[in-house]
Chain A
Amino acid sequence: MELKTETRQRDEESEISPFKDLLIIFMPDHIIRIFQLALKSLWLHKLRSLLTILGIVFGVCSVIAMLAIGEGASYEAQEQIKNLGSQNIILQSVKPPEEQKISGAAENFALDYGLKYSDLKRIRATIPGITIIVPGRIVREYIWNATRRVDGEIVGTVPWYPEMRNQRVIRGRFFSEVEMDYSANVCVISSDTAQILFPISNPIGKEVRVGGTYYRVVGILESQKVTKSSTDVSPQKATVYRIFIPLNTARARFGETILKRRSGSTEVERVELHEATVKVSDPKLVVSVSQSINTLLKRGHKKKDYEIIVPLELLKRAERTKQIFNIVLGSIAAISLLVGGIGIMNIMLATVTERTREIGIRRALGAKRRDIVTQFLVESVMLSGTGGLIGVLFGITIPFMVTAFANMKTIITLWSPLLAFSISALVGIVFGLYPAIRAAKMDPVEALRHE
């Protein structure tokens, strides 16, 4: 009889206790105490704790810094692609590589390739939903201002070029339709060109010379970094100095044939159009329109002497590249945090062995296994959390330094420090759990006898 009542009482006690324990966890006083205790124990071995923390610091800070640099690079690439216009399809004339030698000898010395005006007419006639087509002609020549010169590109184009290509007119204006119709000798120069040719004075109203012709400067256009062979996404850093003249002027001045003299060899090329931009009114149709343009052009061109660039596709490709980049970064980060975590585990195992007696004492004084687990887990999370915090600080500073010294764009997204920090805290839990459980599993009698 007596025994039965006792067992019931015991059951009641153990039933109540889990709830009581839950309550304690939410008592701020107790939490503070647990943290104070952990801090004290860690402070006892300052150097050791510091070295352990370092492992996590480097992991976290490299993650944030690398992500910021990667993000910055891909942002720049994407911006450049966006500048080309996401609704645009750019057609370019390309010299067919296999024809270079043969045709040069066979067909009256002139290499005839590239897009024709008739191509554009056909495109306009057959494909619906296209709003504007900007034809462009590009000629390489020296551009002069008195004795200053620059090896640049003379682009013959239409008055609405800047709005199509998202390029801003910084000063003055772009040439007008009237100037286009009258083949006026006016030009708009890119800001890079302006810097070279007119380093101190205001170029507007002045004249630049190309060959034997003078062109009056009416405006300055913001320079664009992405230029010719835009198939690769990587930004071309080499600046191309450009001036823009009305298409009709270009046709009148330069004709259809271009004579190129390059160190010892002479090349004659005949290209009607170097570049054309097709604007598609509906962004969803961009890809399909580009495909139909391709089929259309294929019919008229025997060799592949043109190229179709779809900025939208480039953008998608850039995003895919970024994803791969992030995965690579993520694995590097995971490895470095893993190493840091192993460091924490190592130290915690040593600590547990060292403090076996303390564990025994605490157990004798009424600490449950759960209490011991909590104590050591808090210590390891504190190590990794502090490491994470310092790592975040460094990780945020480094991109700024990279921007300042290496002149690279960096972007710190909000989630990257948050993610890195929470992973570091998680590392503390994961790698602290085993040592903590080992500590709690010790037999109190054995632990008290230790040393």
Chain B
Amino acid sequence: MPKSIAKLVDVQKTYLMGLVTVQALRGISLDINEGEYVSIMGPSGCGKSTLLNLLGCLDRPTSGHYYLGELDVSKMDDDALSEVRGKRLGFIFQSYNLIQQLTVIENIEVPLFYQNISPSVGRKKATEFANRVGLENRLHHKPFELSGGQQQRVAIARALVNEPLVILADEPTGNLDSKSGVEILQIFDELHSQGKTIIVVTHDENIAKRAERTIRLRDGMVESNTRNR
């Protein structure tokens, strides 16, 4: 029996937009196991980003429970959620979201800094992860000096540096040309083979197919949950 690492139990999320309440998620239950590679698909407005924000502990569900590892994070306060994000989650965004005034190595160090790891240890660790994604010659470049693919690799290294339980990727290849997109997906495959848990949100079927399992959303509900292999 594989160990459950992210578990949603009847999660609902409602927003108040002006005078209208919008139900973005209408009771979602999911179970993602350790080492799984899962893709989440769905048309725009289906609640994908809302789900991703919840999975990423950037937001709290209106009702229901979210267990990340052994922790119920659905009722945590802001500080505790920050701690969880920093320790247990790694984010990869469509637009890379690197901090522009920092160099590659400094960007990778940011999560470590908030985990109170001493700068010397952090530097060593960040260098190691930069090497892993093939950026050893770009350590002291600023993000704008890098290509999109390189920037996304910096983001991957940054997501990995804290050794998180789950890696969350939001359209990781959306801003990339097909060649560097494939490179990024290869890195994902590699991480998966090393036993990392990866959740990718996308609307590209080809990307979704690379994952072991695809979860399709429609109107804030799980439409299908199928194994690809």
* A residues whose Cβ falls under 8 Å from a Cβ of B: 3, 6-7, 9-10, 13-14, 17, 20-21, 23-24, 27, 29-30, 32-33, 40-41, 44, 357-358, 360-371, 444-445, 448
Contact = CB atoms under 8 A, between A and B. Distances in A.
B97 A357 contact: yes
B113 interface: yes
Contact of A365 (B78, B86, B101, B116): B86
B80 A10 contact: yes
Given A14-B80, A362-B99, 19 more contacts: A3-B72, A6-B70, A6-B72, A17-B83, A27-B118, A33-B113, A41-B101, A358-B100, A361-B97, A361-B99, A361-B110, A362-B110, A364-B56, A366-B82, A366-B87, A366-B111, A366-B162, A368-B78, A369-B79
Nearest to A6: B72
B80 to A, nearest CB: 6
B189 interface: no
A4 to B, nearest CB: 11
B90 to A, nearest CB: 9
B86 A366 contact: yes
A23 B116 CA distance: 9
A24 B116 contact: yes
A116 B119 CA distance: 88
Contact of A17 (B67, B76, B79, B102): B79
A24 B118 CA distance: 9
Contacts of B70: 6, 9
B145 to A, nearest CB: 15
Interface of B: 53, 56, 58-59, 67, 70-72, 76-80, 82-83, 85-87, 91, 93, 97-102, 110-111, 113-116, 118-120, 158, 162
Contacts of A40: 101-102
A7 B114 contact: no
Contacts of B115: 366
Contact of A29 (B93, B102, B111, B119): B119
A369 B77 CA distance: 11
At the interface, is chain A mostly helix, strand, loop or mixed? helix
A371 B158 CA distance: 19
A396 B152 CA distance: 52
A366 B118 contact: no
B78 A369 contact: yes
A445 B58 contact: yes
B101 A444 contact: no
Contacts of B119: 29-30, 32-33
Nearest to A34: B113
Contacts of B116: 20-21, 23-24, 27, 30
Contact of B114 (A6, A10, A366): A366
A27 B119 CA distance: 10
Given A9-B70, A20-B116, A362-B110, A368 B82 contact: yes
A27 B162 CA distance: 20
Contacts of A3: 72
A367 B115 CA distance: 9
Contacts of A41: 101
12 contacts: A10-B80, A13-B80, A13-B83, A17-B79, A30-B116, A360-B97, A361-B99, A362-B114, A364-B58, A366-B111, A368-B79, A445-B58
Contacts of A366: 82-83, 85-87, 111, 114-115, 162
Contacts of B162: 366
Nearest to A14: B80
B79 A14 contact: yes
A451 B220 CA distance: 26
